[in-house]
Amino acid sequence: MTTTKAERNSIIGDVIRNVPGAEAVIKKYFGDGCFTCPGINVEELSFGAMMHNVDPDQLVNEINALAEKEKV
């Protein structure tokens, strides 16, 4: 599955693999540990945001804005 848009219910690992620029945003808010955690293959962005005290809408909007910018 290749996508260029993240949603609140998107799986973190899928977003990292498929949405341009998402890795940088996730690293910014969640840190490096996220990339070695097996939970990224089952946890949604909204859950990760809650665990890291981040507004899920802000996270999704920032990922999508960066993905859109990288398309250009």
Give pLDDT, residue 1.
44
Q: Which residues of 19-54 are buried (b: 16+ CB within 10 A; e: fewer)?
A: bebbbebbeebbeeebeeeeebeebbbbbbbeeeeb
pLDDT (tens digit per residue) in 36-59: 889 999 999 999 999 999 999 999
Mean pLDDT, the chain, whole residue set: 90
**Domain edges within the chain:** 12-71
Structure confidence at residue 3 as a pLDDT band (50, 70, 90): low
- Give the C-alpha separation, 70 to 45, whole Å: 20
Predicted TM-score (pTM) of the model is: 0.87
Percent pLDDT > 70 in the chain is 93
